[in-house]
Structure 1
Amino acid sequence: MKVCVWGAGSIGTKHFNILQDNGCEVCFLSRRKLDQKHFNSLNDVLSIFNPDHIIVATETNDHEKCLQLIIEQKFKGNIFIEKPIFNKMSQLSFVTDTFKERIFVLYNIRFNRGLGLLKEIIETEGITGLTCFVGQYLPDWRKGTDYRKSYSACSEKGGGVVRDLSHEIDYTAFLAGRIKSLFSISGNCSDLEIETEDFSNIVLESENTSNITIGLNYLNKFPRRFIILNTKSNTYELDLVNNHLLKNGEKVDLKFDMAESYERQAKAILAEDYSQLCTYEEGIETLKVIEAIEVSSNDKRFINL
């Protein structure tokens, strides 16, 4: 199988290396000078490399433009877009039904073994409440780079905790069903030199429970990422930083880590098993929730979806 990775930043390079390590023939589409096989134009990629699939790993604000160019070329393979699917909702009439079936959004946490176990638990025990939290100090995210120049710091590039950390929105719907309504308080409460929001606290109702809270921030000096699931029978806590799962305070025998989730996602793509991937429609639903969070925070009101 041959895969083109469009974008040679940190996440694009991660995709490239994992796919290559799994025996896939990979190229970059990038204007950077690279040691790896790369092309400077989509036309060259399609006519010379002829990939089976394309991964779009550019900055979020470029996703829509990249997808439109791929569709204009009538590409026959599948298209995998790094999360979130787009920066903003817009006129997407160029995405026909035929292409929608072949577009997926890469939310790698769906492939975390711990999250998969929580989904299985919900199917047997039900769900009465879900608490999701992620916080990490933005200047520590990308070593050797100036956070003030990163896309995270820029609204136009798709930065801010709500878009940057939209994994929590995706896996909330993945676990608890479609989001029906929400209320959010988001903004800036730190001295970080950014134009985007550095925190967001969200209360949500889904198809399966009206007891959901999500907390996102760029502030934690030590990283935290966890999920607390209450079922009709038990309480579970999944720690996605320290890689352990607790059931009623007792550690569950389960080995997993975040790096493995990227590996498992890549293997699913290579095996053409898309059952666990975020579909185009689900990616659009997540984007609608993102925009509803922003409206709720600005207008200080509940939003029905």
Structure 2
Amino acid sequence: MNRPYSRSENTGLISVIHKTLKKGAPNIIKFSATKRHKTMTNILICGFGSIGQKHAKNLTDMGASLRIWRHRQDQKEAIIDAGYEFEPSLENGLDWADAAIIATATDQHIAPATLAAQKNVPYYMEKPVSLNTNGLQELEQNSRNLPIEIGCQLRHHPSLVALKHQLTHHEYGKVLSFQAWVGQRLDEWRPGSDYRKCYSADTTRGGGALFDLVHEIDLMTWLVGPMDSVYADLRHNSDLDMNAEDLANIILSADNKAAGTVQLDMLSPAYRRGLQIICEKCVYTFDMKEGILWRKIGSDDVQCIAKPDKNFQPADMLKNAVEYFINRVKDPTIAPRCGLEDGIHDLHILLAAKQSNSNKTQEKIRKTL
């Protein structure tokens, strides 16, 4: 899971447009937004909630031919009114498709993904993989040798790609400790919609801070390495009307002995998102809002290591992730950015965290199905 960084991972995602090489000055890498190309790939999108609609718009812009399947057949008119072709049969849709996007609610991921794999159709699955391990072994067995990507698009932020490169090459020693955090009130996530009716407010559908904000946990497994154990405290502290925790405090220990914390919340009155990686010889700090990666050596030596081009938008990460998946469908030799194995490891962390919260104990993280 903690694969060496490869040039193929970066193909078609970001381009270096400027690098300062003045003697005595920090090397600052600025990244431009992805230069996109048109494709006529046939893609079946499974699900048409907020994320499914984003995928539909992005793939239309990329030139893909789309059909939309949704478990709830009563959404046919909404899909047609939005300008897309409604597909009533999942099986027929997969027979037509070159690739599939699994964008259903988390508790409904496994069935369409398994059918896609059985039909040898590559798929991009939204995070997390599932709510439990039911059907996971069959999915994994059927998905072998297929280009699969899990929707952890923060792995496509250019500054975090630069951080991954530096950490992989141990430029400033091994990782000793880490922190990651994200927070914003749930009722501010989707303006114009009732947060109480969305899956994010319902733990039985994959909602709650732990599962819905898994990106930060995934980033730590990508940047630091596979995790060995977890201790978690999950609670509901706000006035939000939801059937799920709105705060998750997590302590993680990695296989390589690094340890750190991840805090996930749906209650913060101001949006916040970032991380810090402590190595033997420096401290890396990243704030999502500004998008800049900083490196601090000693007390006063703070350097800007990487930042996106001025045209870069956070929404580009989702576009980049899906385009990367399409590139892998066309060229299966390209290494996965976040493959099914990574997604399953993330799920095992989530399930161990839930167990830890229930038992009030540190829990080991499963390594196999």
Question: TM-score by structure 2 length?
Answer: 0.77
Identity percentage of aligned residues? 28
Q: Does structure 1 residue 43 correspond to structure 2 residue 91?
A: yes
For residues 267 and 66 of structure 2, the distance between their equivalents in structure 1, rounded to whole angstroms, comes to 36
Aligned equivalent of 1:77 = 121
More divergent stretch after superposition (251-260 vs 82-91): 251-260
Does the CA contact (< 8 Å) of 2:178 and 2:276 recur in 1? Answer: yes
- Is 141-150 or 30-39 further displaced after alignment? 30-39
CA offset at residue 250 of structure 1?
4.2
The answer to whether the Cα contact below 8 Å between 1:59 and 1:157 also exists between their aligned partners in 2 is yes
Identify which range, 181-190 or 33-42, moves more after superposition: 33-42
Kindly name which structure, 1 or 2, has the bigger radius of gyration based on alpha carbons: 2
Q: 2:24 corresponds to which residue? A: none
**1:254 maps to which residue?**
307
Match of 1:56 in 2: 102
TM-score of the aligned structures, taking structure 1 as reference length: 0.93
In structure 2, C-alpha distance between the alignment counterparts of 1:61 and 1:186, rounded to whole Å:
20
Query: For residue 342 of structure 2, what is the aligned residue in structure 1?
Result: 282
2:158 is matched with 113
State the match for 2:355 in structure 1.
295
One-letter code aligned to 1:295: Q
Q: Could you tell me whether the CA contact under 8 Å between 2:225 and 2:256 is conserved in 1?
A: yes
Structure 1 partner of 2:31:
none
Q: Which residue of 1 aligns with 2:49?
A: 9
Query: In structure 1, what is the Cα distance between the partners aligned to 2:249 and 2:107?
Result: 24
**Superposed CA offset, 1:200-224 (max 9, x none):** 1111111234321100000111111
Does the Cα contact within 8 Å between 2:116 and 2:122 map onto a contact in 1?
no
Any gaps of 5 or more consecutive residues in structure 1? none
Alpha-carbon shift at residue 234 of structure 1 (Å): 1.5
Write the distance in 1 (CA, Å) between the matches of 2:187 and 2:304: 32
Give unmatched runs, 5+ long, in structure 2. 1-40, 297-301
Amino acid of the structure 2 residue aligned with 1:166: V
- Name segments (4+ residues, structure 1) moved above 4 Å: none
Alignment of 1:155-166 (within 5 A): 155-166=203-214
Q: CA shift at 1:93, angstroms?
A: 4.2
Does the CA-based 8 Å contact 1:176-1:209 persist in structure 2?
no
Which residue of 85, 88, 101 maps to 2:145?
101
- 1:253: Cα distance to partner? 4.7
The answer to whether the Cα contact below 8 Å between 1:137 and 1:219 also exists between their aligned partners in 2 is yes
Number of residue pairs matched by the alignment: 301
* Partner Cα separation in structure 1 for residue 120 and residue 112 of structure 2: 15
Match runs of 1:175-214 below 5 Å: 175-214=223-262
Please tell me the residue identity of whatever aligns with 1:285: H
* Root-mean-square deviation (Å): 1.8
How far is 1:246 from its partner? 2.0
